[in-house]
């Protein structure tokens, strides 16, 4: 999965722990001009390829926690024994690394943005991209000359991956004769012209397994990724069709290329994309997505650590827990799939002195843990038994396994199993949301707010997931589901997904109301919340945001309830999972088989009832000729979904009801050895 990453790093570097003071440079860009910050990120990506040597502070901070760089600096000093040489003057930084800089790529400081509030040097980002491929710095012409660099009209890019022919490209992107500097074009068309040239000229020379979307970073440079800064709505926007066709066409070309050069394996997309349902679109190309809009990942990814087993302190098995007549309550920390939480101490919440006072299940991106082993080890070493660890949304990142085609399936399963074994995390949290009216059709792809459950269940079974918590509008809330081949627990539309935590009394009362009248033992996923540091300021930071300190107050209110409080136990996801599996007598076979003990139903359909479109799924024990048809209650055949030889395994097909009237329809699965019927209700 990470072959191209390991191609760039020397593996032995990751196996040697620093036995003495580790010397490095820290550039503090707090007062640096924007061109200097862009150049500093490019320089960090270049020089850190040989091992972590340049750390950035205040160059591009994570928006979720502005003290991220300073906190990691302290931890690297204390735990990594790093001695930083601090530099605040950019010219001094250039002189410190002048022997590693092969030249400059110059650009005009022209700005453009995908949406109101975004503004970036579009020529500058491509100067950084070319610079990363040639070990050159992106600088405006006057700055480059002032720093003593000699300017060249062109530069030769050699292929560091698969031996494509070297290409000579412009080194002065501001040159008037270049097509993106046509004065008859507006700023957007100029950038799109440059991006089109980049796709044709630079993409084949870039990392074939990884690409970047949105603002360029040192990690983009480190990995020699191709980059497009295109996808975007106003922050938080959900207008899926706001992405203009001209921009979507360029993204489509990028993802198609990545799919074509990665037969039988996933590729990885980093950065950010908005609106979020576009992540589903990426999945249909065979991609895995990761939010990484911050600096210093080039440092975190190359800092040497000693590899060792990592086991969550809260890890527990069904044999180790006692199922009692209690209300078991779970709180999940959201956003863990994103670097803005996974790499920022969970927006500072991890640093709370109150952490450990109550059980919290923190969401993590195991792919980012794999990239940044020092960070992963820090979290494991400082976790308490009340710090649960859950993989959001899959070990492979912000992904939708039910949308992957068969060609990448084996690679995805293998990669997920590897990460689960390495980090000892076997419980997932997965969701789909934001698509207007629950469904949309974008560039030939159906995108839903609901999973293909049989296919998701197949993936979870193949990787031996123990419990997957879901937010899915097609399933009833606070319910266990096992009929799809894996244990899933759904919570939806009951105030628990990004639940309102502005009023702690109201939050506690909502939870108590959910428990009233329920038989015990009872299980409740009480909140999927964004956690922030205790001293965030005036609360609520947002209706879905909470601190460790404030959650402790909620738990105290719950347990002080005179009627139910004594029976309420807040648990980690590991204990919640173990108790559920014990309650339902559910287990997975030994790792490696990829199948659960309890098989899924042979023929299933969802949603049921459905409104115009449903999915029909079945599982074959052997390859045989199959006929899958749909009939009305008069016996008339309405559709033939399959009529031919089908291979053994799980299969899912879409049923389009078109203009059929509301009513009951019969799905029939027949073969020489099978004769199964399923009822589906169509309600318009």
**Tens-digit pLDDT profile for residues 177-198:** 999 999 999 999 999 999 999 9
Nearest partner of 360 among 558, 565, 579, 574, judged by Cα: 574
Q: How far apart are CA 44 and CA 132, in angstroms?
A: 10
Instruction: Give the CA angle between residues 523, 528, 533 to the nearest 5°.
Output: 125
Q: Which of 349, 332, 590, 589 is nearest to 468 (CA)?
A: 332
pLDDT number for residue 2: 39
Query: What's the Rg (C-alpha) of the chain?
Result: 26
Q: Is the pLDDT of residue 313 over 70?
A: yes
- DSSP classification of residue 660: P
DSSP for 46-97 reads HHGGGSS-EEEESSS--TT-TTHHHHHHHHHHHHS-EEEEEE--HHHHHHHT
Residue 236 has pLDDT above 90, yes or no: no
Peptide bond into 607 cis (omega under 30): yes
Specify the pairing of strand 327-333 against strand 360-364.
parallel
Q: Could you report the per-residue pLDDT of 423-437, keeping only the tens digit for each?
A: 999 999 999 877 777
Exposure string over 52-74, b if 16+ CB within 10 A, otherwise e: bbbbbbbbbbbebbebbbeebbe
Q: Quick one: average pLDDT of 439-451?
A: 86
Strand partners, 206: none
Measured CA to CA, the distance from residue 348 to residue 352 in angstroms comes to 7
pLDDT tens readout for residues 245-293:
899 999 999 999 999 999 999 999 999 988 788 899 999 999 999 999 9
SS3 680: strand
Instruction: List, in order of start, the domains of the chain with CATH numbers.
Output: 3-300 (no CATH), 334-583 (3.20.20.490), 603-682 (2.60.40.3080)
pLDDT of residue 5: 40
Answer whether 312's CB lies under 8 Å from 425's CB. Answer: yes
pTM: 0.84
pLDDT at 193: 98
131: how many CB neighbours lie within 10 A of its CB? 29
Query: What would the pLDDT profile of 123-138 be if each residue is shown by its tens digit?
Result: 999 999 999 999 999 9
Q: From residue 315, how far is each of 155, 380, 488 by CA, in Å? A: 53, 12, 19
Instruction: Report the pLDDT value the prediction gives residue 443, as an integer from 0 to 100.
Output: 86
User: So what's the pLDDT on residue 299?
Assistant: 98
pLDDT tens-place string over residues 568-621? 999 999 999 999 999 999 975 433 333 333 333 467 776 666 777 777 878 787
DSSP string, 430-499: EE----GGGEEEETTEEEESS--HHHHHHHHHHHT-SEEEEE-TTS-TTEEE-TTSS-EEE--SSS-BT-
- pLDDT reading at 22 higher than 50: yes
Let me know the angle formed at the C-alpha of 142 by 136 and 147, rounded to the nearest 5 degrees.
55
Q: What contacts 50, CB < 8 A, 6 or more positions away? A: none
- The mean pLDDT of 5-26, rounded to a whole number, is 54
Rounded Cα distance between 217 and 157, Å, is 20
> Quick one: pLDDT band at residue 238, thresholds 50, 70, 90?
low
Average pLDDT of the residues in 377-388: 98
| pLDDT score for 4 | 40
DSSP letters, 192-251, are HHHHHHHHHHTGGGS-SSEEEESS--HHHHHTT-EEE-----STT---GGGS-HHHHHHH
State the pLDDT at residue 162. Answer: 86
* pLDDT over 90, % of the chain: 73
For the stretch 116-126, pLDDT in tens is 889 999 999 99
User: Which residue from 122, 394, 429, 173 is spatially nearest to 266, judged by alpha carbons?
Assistant: 394
Q: Which residue has the higher pLDDT, 234 or 5?
A: 234
């Amino acid at each position: 999965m990470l072959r191209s990453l390991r191609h760039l790093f020397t593996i032995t570097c990751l196996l040697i722990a620093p036995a003495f003071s580790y010397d490095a440079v820290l550039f503090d860009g707090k007062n640096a001009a924007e061109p200097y910050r862009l150049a500093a990120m490019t320089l960090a990506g270049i020089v850190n390829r040989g091992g972590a040597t340049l750390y950035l502070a205040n160059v591009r901070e994570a928006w979720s926690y502005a003290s991220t760089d300073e906190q990691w600096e302290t931890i690297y000093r204390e735990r990594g024994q790093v001695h930083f040489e601090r530099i605040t003057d950019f010219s001094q930084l250039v002189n410190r690394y002048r022997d590693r800089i092969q030249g400059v790529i110059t650009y005009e400081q022209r700005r453009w943005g995908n949406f109101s509030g975004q503004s970036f040097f579009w020529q500058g980002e491509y100067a950084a991209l070319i610079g990363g491929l040639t070990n050159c710095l992106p600088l405006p012409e006057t700055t480059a000359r002032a720093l003593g660099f000699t300017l060249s009209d062109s530069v030769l890019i050699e292929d560091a991956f698969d031996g494509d022919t070297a290409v000579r490209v412009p080194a002065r992107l501001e040159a008037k004769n270049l097509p993106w500097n046509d004065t008859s074009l507006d700023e957007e068309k100029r950038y799109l012209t440059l991006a089109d040239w980049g796709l044709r000229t630079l993409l084949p020379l870039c990392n074939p397994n990884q690409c970047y979307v949105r603002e360029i970073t040192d990690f983009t440079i480190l990995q020699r990724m191709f980059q497009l800064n295109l996808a975007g709505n106003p922050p938080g926007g959900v207008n899926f069709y706001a992405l203009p066709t001209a921009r979507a066409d360029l993204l489509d070309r990028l993802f198609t290329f990545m799919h074509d050069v990665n037969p039988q394996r996933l590729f990885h997309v980093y950065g950010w994309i908005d609106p979020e349902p576009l992540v589903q679109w990426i999945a249909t190309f065979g991609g895995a997505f990761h939010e990484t809009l911050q600096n210093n990942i080039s440092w975190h990814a190359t800092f040497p650590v000693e590899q060792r087993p990592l086991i969550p302190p809260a890890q527990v098995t069904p044999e180790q827990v006692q199922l009692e007549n209690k209300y078991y309550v779970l709180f999940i920390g959201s956003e863990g799939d994103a670097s803005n939480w996974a790499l920022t101490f969970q927006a500072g919440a991890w640093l709370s002195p109150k952490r450990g006072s109550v059980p919290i299940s923190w969401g993590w991106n195991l792919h980012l843990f794999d990239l940044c082993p020092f960070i992963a080890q820090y979290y494991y070493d400082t976790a308490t038994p009340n710090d649960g660890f859950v993989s959001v949304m899959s070990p492979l990142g912000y992904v939708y396994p039910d949308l992957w085609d068969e060609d990448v399936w084996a690679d995805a399963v293998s990669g997920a199993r590897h990460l689960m074994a390495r980090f000892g995390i076997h419980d997932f949290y997965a969701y789909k949301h934001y698509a207007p009216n629950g469904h949309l059709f974008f560039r030939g792809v159906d995108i839903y707010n609901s999973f293909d459950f049989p296919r998701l269940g197949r993936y979870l079974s193949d990787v031996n997931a123990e419990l997957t918590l879901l937010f899915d509008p097609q399933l009833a809330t606070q319910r266990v589901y096992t009929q799809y081949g894996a244990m899933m627990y759904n919570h939806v539309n009951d105030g628990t997904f990004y639940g309102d935590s502005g009023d702690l009394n109201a939050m506690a009362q909502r939870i108590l109301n959910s428990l009233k009248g329920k038989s015990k033992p009872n299980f409740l996923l009480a909140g999927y919340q964004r956690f922030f540091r205790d001293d965030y300021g005036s609360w609520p930071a947002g209706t879905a945001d909470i601190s460790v300190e404030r959650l402790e107050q909620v738990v105290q209110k719950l347990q002080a309830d005179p009627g139910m409080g004594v029976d309420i136990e807040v648990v980690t996801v590991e204990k919640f999972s173990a108790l559920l599996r014990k309650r339902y007598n559910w287990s997975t076979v030994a790792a490696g088989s990829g199948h659960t003990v309890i098989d899924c139903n042979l023929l299933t359909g969802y949603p049921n009832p459905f409104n115009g479109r449903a999915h029909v799924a079945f599982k074959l024990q052997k390859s045989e000729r199959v006929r899958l048809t749909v009939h009305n209650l008069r016996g008339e055949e309405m559709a033939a979904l399959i009529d031919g030889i089908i291979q053994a395994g799980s299969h899912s097909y879409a049923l389009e009801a078109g203009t059929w009237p509301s009513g009951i329809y019969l799905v029939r699965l027949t073969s020489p050895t099978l004769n199964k019927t399923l009822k589906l209700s169509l309600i318009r």
